[in-house]
Amino acid sequence: MNTKIQPKTSIVIFGATGDLAKRKLYPSIFNLYKKGQLAENFAVVGVARRPWSNETLRDTVKASLEHEPNRDVVEQFCQHFYYLSFEVTNKSTYHELKTLLDEVETIHKIPGNRIFYMSMAPEFFGTIAKNLKAEGVTDSGGWTRLVIEKPFGHDLESARALNQEIRQAFSEEEIYRIDHYLGKEMVQNIEVIRFANAIFEPLWNNKYISNIQITSSETLGVEERGGYYDTSGALRDMVQNHMLQMVSLLAMDPPIRLTPDEIRSEKIKVLRAIRPITEQDTSRYFVRGQYGPGVLNESEVPGYRSENNVNPHSKTETFVAGKILIDSHRWAGVPFYIRTGKRMLLKSTEIVIEFKGMPMNLYYSENQTQSNLLIIHVQPDEGLTLFLNGKKVGPAGGTTPVQLDYCNNCVDTTNTPEAYERLIYDCMLGDATNFTHWDEVELSWSFIDSISKAWEKSDKDLHFYESGSMGPDASMELLEKDGHQWWPITSESKEEEKRSRSNESFRY
């Protein structure tokens, strides 16, 4: 981040009393303030239905920053926060919001720059956007931007309807559809790994890559989100946005230049090239699962159907594995495997690129690696692992895997911005590179909808898996029939992992 640029802006947070605001938004804005990337000329106006006061909101912000030792800075920061009790459908409250913003911007000398952040139920997005325009809240003399959290629609039809509503008030250039995965350090690093290294980019195609795997697993269940999740599921909650965004970054061609428009153009080409899956072919390419009871961290946990606010006969998927094919010159024939799920063995997001073996490997023998692997660790560890083949120590010869590690979050972790912090700052600067364009949303829903429709018609292919596992057996079979297998993610520490692999034969 460029610490010299200090945007002067007002941020209106719709849903200021919610969990996202407390856990992510307030700490992220504070970090920008503390680092000097946010000028003193800023204000945050929190709006929600609760009859709070300015002091109530400021106390809430202080509580969200309880681990910050410098309480004087926290106190100064909180003086920039204001609250308005708000009713989404009441037009008079929009007039109150406009009046409050005018007053606040005069106090803090803000030149009418306004960010409207939607951190509330998605059914209100369109109503709020239209009323902001109709009641003059967007007429500020500065720039205005709208930040929208997922989900952006429930399917293609609802996404289009929502987009039409929002576009009545904001242009596409003013809309910032946030996907926090795009703010993660190692997801943003994908482009650098590919386009700044001559040892990778020439090999980044179907001549040298056998397959690519993306895994995003969680140990948590649905927790208190059962009511929402039971109408969504893993396909809509994770695949339509996070997983397909990572696929597009891994598969895109080099952009002409590093501008939002050029990068977005290449990502859209990838999404257009993804082979559509018909309802009849869904079971061949995608697997859905639902977690049952099991043991996690030595504690028994309930199955999905026993969770609060979940239909006891629910067929909603908590796990998805899929095979995606991209019909382009670069990627023809290379499967992109994705899997994501809840109540799995561990929390981890990893990308594995398996390179093809040598045409004739003189050193290959059974139970020894034949393929080179590049692993991008997104979370919780951030970094890279490259597996090469080397000679075994000693006179017997033979090969052994050589593991080269780079740990991104082992260095200067105190200065590494969180995803929301980075994305909020990008929005202030008007940089939409790491936000989702409508064309990406539309293409993603187009791909997902046929799979959703197939699953809604029948639950015969719903596979149950034990909590604490890595998903149903059917997800393993999805790769096995192509002669591949999932990279064996383990919960060992890096050092334990290194020691264990050095003492056993390595097989992929």
Residues tagged active-site: 242
β-bridge mates for residue 81, sequence order: 44
CA distances from residue 277 to 286, 334, 455, 459 in whole angstroms, order as listed: 9, 16, 13, 18
State residue 165 phi and psi, 5-degree precision: -65, -45
Cα dihedral sign, 352-285-151-319: negative
Which candidate, 218, 206, 213, 211, places its Cα nearest to that of 243? 213
Note whether 322 and 337 are within 8 A (CB): yes
Phi-psi region of 433 (alpha: psi -120 to 50; beta: other; left: phi over 0): alpha
Sheet holding 144-148, edge to edge: 81-85, 42-48, 9-14, 114-118, 144-148, 175-177
Distance, CA of 461 to CA of 287 (rounded, Å):
8
Note whether 76 and 39 are within 8 A (CB): no
State residue 225 phi and psi, 5-degree precision: -100, 15
Distance, CA of 13 to CA of 25 (rounded, Å):
9
CA angle centred on 367, ends 363 and 373, rounded to 5°: 75
Phi-psi region of 261 (alpha: psi -120 to 50; beta: other; left: phi over 0): alpha
Distance, CA of 280 to CA of 123 (rounded, Å):
32
Q: Where are the beta strands (DSSP E) in 262-398?
A: 286-296, 299-301, 319-325, 335-341, 348-355, 373-379, 383-391
Which candidate, 392, 349, 381, places its Cα nearest to that of 503? 392
Which residue in the block uniquely carries the two structure tokens 């993660």?
184
Distance, CA of 468 to CA of 291 (rounded, Å):
9
Distance, CA of 470 to CA of 118 (rounded, Å):
34
Q: Where are the beta strands (DSSP E) in 201-347?
A: 209-217, 286-296, 299-301, 319-325, 335-341
Which candidate, 172, 173, 246, 259, places its Cα nearest to that of 433? 259
